[in-house]
């Protein structure tokens, strides 16, 4: 049993380190078009996995329409952020939500269905768009949130690296502490393997990762103070746990163990980014509303 857990841990660790090294490398390369394409690819694959899980249970969903909506939104948002920065645009965000509803309802008009199927198709599709591309797009927003350089290059990529590292420290801490010391269930009705020991391990590990990276590159995270690093470490660690449980609710509802089987020890792309879907908005709003970066 311990050997199996050890094998799973190293597979999970290898997949996580390899994939996030690729993403961090793309961010550090300084070519914003390159890391946007990576963000776009990850978002679309994760969204497709969600649609596949829903359809596997016989529930109606508009996969192609949803994928097209996500692509248009992510591409349009990237060019808007590139041109105007991450200056808040409430009208644009509301327009996106209205557009999602309008397009999905319009798609339903051309599909014959009975009973509750029309509402289910709209609900499942719109939820997928809000849950994955809309939330994951906060990663792109963080990149363009701090003021650009004199040459117009974005400067928020190091805050994205901080976000990823702290979030992944939380994930790995929850897994390690839960596997070694887990005795008391945290949310057994959602995920029986989650424990309070794992939750404490997640907070401890995310705080450790937060301090470590801040000590390594304080000049790149100059907007953060020590108290910010402490609060963000705990907040992102807790947000990562909630993000993981949120996907567990979806997998439990669709009777799926993983979103797919493409990543050894992890599952699918959605399993890789589930915690980031919640920590990225938390990071963005903390930087903008608490620290005042704009």
* Digit-coded pLDDT (tens) for 146-180: 888 777 778 888 899 999 999 989 998 998 899 88
At 58 the pLDDT is 85
Please give the pLDDT value at position 94.
Answer: 84
Q: What pairing do the DSSP bridges indicate for beta strands 191-195 and 185-187? A: antiparallel
Q: DSSP string covering 124-142, please?
A: HHHHHHIIIIIHHTHHHHH
Q: Taking Cα atoms as reference points, which of 135, 61, 125, 137 lies closest to residue 99?
A: 125
Query: Model confidence at 71, in pLDDT bands (50, 70, 90)?
Result: very high
Most confident of 17-26, 149-158, 183-192, 221-230: 221-230
- Lowest-confidence pick of 19-33, 69-83, 172-186, 235-249: 19-33
pLDDT score, position 118: 79
The overall average pLDDT reported for the chain is 86
* pLDDT over threshold 80, residue 102: yes
Q: Which residue has the higher pLDDT, 280 or 119?
A: 280
Instruction: Compute the distance between CA of residue 288 and CA of residue 264 in angstroms, rounded to an integer.
Output: 36
pTM of the model: 0.89
Domain, as residue range, for 76: 2-291
At 193, the pLDDT band (50, 70, 90 cuts) reads: confident
Position with higher pLDDT, 205 vs 21: 205
Which ranges of 29-62 would DSSP assign to H, the alpha helix? 32-56
**Taking residues 104-113, what's their average pLDDT?**
78
Burial classification of residue 266, based on how many CB atoms lie within 10 Å of its CB (0-12 exposed, 13-18 middle, 19 or more buried): buried
Distance of CA 147 to the CA centre of its chain: 24
CB count in 10 Å sphere of residue 79: 10
Does the CA dihedral 219-223-224-226 come out positive or negative? positive
pLDDT at 144 over 60: yes
Cα separation, 131 vs 140, whole angstroms: 16
Instruction: Residue 219: count other Cβ atoms within 10 Å of its Cβ.
Output: 6
Report pLDDT for 261.
67
How many structural domains comprise the chain?
1
Cβ-based burial of 87 (10 A; exposed 0-12, middle 13-18, buried ≥19): exposed
Asked whether the predicted pLDDT for residue 62 surpasses 80, the reply is yes
Distance, in Å, from the CA atom of 37 to the CA atom of 17, rounded to the nearest integer, reads: 20
pLDDT tops 60 at residue 66 = yes
**Could you tell me which residues are beta bridge partners of residue 191?**
187
Other beta carbons within 10 angstroms of residue 217's beta carbon come to 12
Distance between terminal CA atoms of the chain? 51
Check pLDDT > 90 for residue 92: no
Percent above pLDDT 70 for the chain: 86
């Amino acid at each position: 049993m311990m050997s199996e857990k050890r094998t799973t841990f190293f597979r999970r660790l290898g997949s996580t380190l390899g994939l996030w090294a690729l993403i961090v490398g793309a961010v550090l390369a300084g070519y914003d078009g390159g890391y946007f394409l990576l963000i776009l690819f990850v978002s679309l694959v994760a969204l497709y996995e969600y649609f596949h899980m829903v359809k596997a249970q016989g529930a109606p969903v508009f996969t192609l329409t949803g994928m097209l909506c996500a692509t248009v939104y992510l591409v349009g948002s990237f060019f808007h952020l590139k041109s105007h920065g991450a200056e808040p645009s409430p009208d644009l965000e509301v327009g996106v939500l209205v557009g999602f509803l309008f397009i999905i309802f319009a798609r339903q008009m051309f599909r014959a269905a009975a009973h509750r199927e029309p509402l289910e198709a709209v609900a499942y599709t719109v939820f997928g768009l809000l849950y994955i591309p809309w939330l994951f797009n906060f990663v792109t927003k963080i990149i363009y949130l701090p003021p650009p350089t004199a040459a117009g290059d974005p400067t928020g990529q190091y805050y994205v690296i901080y976000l990823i590292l702290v979030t992944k420290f939380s994930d790995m801490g929850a897994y390690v502490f839960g596997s070694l010391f887990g005795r008391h269930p945290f949310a057994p009705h959602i995920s029986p393997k989650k424990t309070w020991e794992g939750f404490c391990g997640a907070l401890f590990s995310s705080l450790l990762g937060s301090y470590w990276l801040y000590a390594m590159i304080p000049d790149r995270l100059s907007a953060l103070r020590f108290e910010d690093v402490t609060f963000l470490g705990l907040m992102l660690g807790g947000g990562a746990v909630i993000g993981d449980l949120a996907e567990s609710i979806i997998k439990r509802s669709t009777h799926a163990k993983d979103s797919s089987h493409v990543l050894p020890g992890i599952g699918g792309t959605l399993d890789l980014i589930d915690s980031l879907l919640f920590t990225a908005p938390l990071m963005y709003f903390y930087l903008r509303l608490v620290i005042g970066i704009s």
